[in-house]
Amino acid sequence: MKPAYSKLMEILKEIRLLRSIEGVLYWDLNTYMPSKGLKYRSNQFNWLQTRIHKIWTGEKFKSLLMECIENPEHDEIASRNIELLRREYENRTALPAELVGALAAQSNKTLEVWKKAKKEIKFQIVLY
């Protein structure tokens, strides 16, 4: 395995670890978390999504990806991974990290409003 590709895979392991932490937080949000913890949990999601986005769009990731693209002597699996990573990189660099974090935080706040709206059968409150 090429050194740049190996380093790229190490970065992806970090991203997967952060995403798994996010999954546990999301599970807790939807099962046991007290409603008064929503603001703090939203801040956690904001931080995690911003951090993940910065890793994806960072200079280290970009330089390793470009090195892999410019030296295409990889096996079939690595070549496909590189192509998928290139697409993901292009998609992620289209949005600023602050927006990605803010969207993550807001989606969790909106989820709590939705739960209340569903329970009370007052779906209009989700619009505000």
Digit-coded pLDDT (tens) for 110-122: 888 888 888 888 8
Is there a contact between 14 and 55 (Cβ–Cβ < 8 Å)? yes
Q: DSSP letters of 5-30?
A: HHHHHHHHHHHHHHHHHHHHHHHHHH
Query: Total structural domains in the chain?
Result: 1
Is pLDDT larger for residue 128 or for residue 96?
A: 96
Whether this model's pTM surpasses 0.85: no
pLDDT at 128 over 80: no
Place of tokens 């330089």: 63
Domain that holds residue 42: 3-127
Distance of CA 108 to the CA centre of its chain: 14
pLDDT at 103 over 90: no
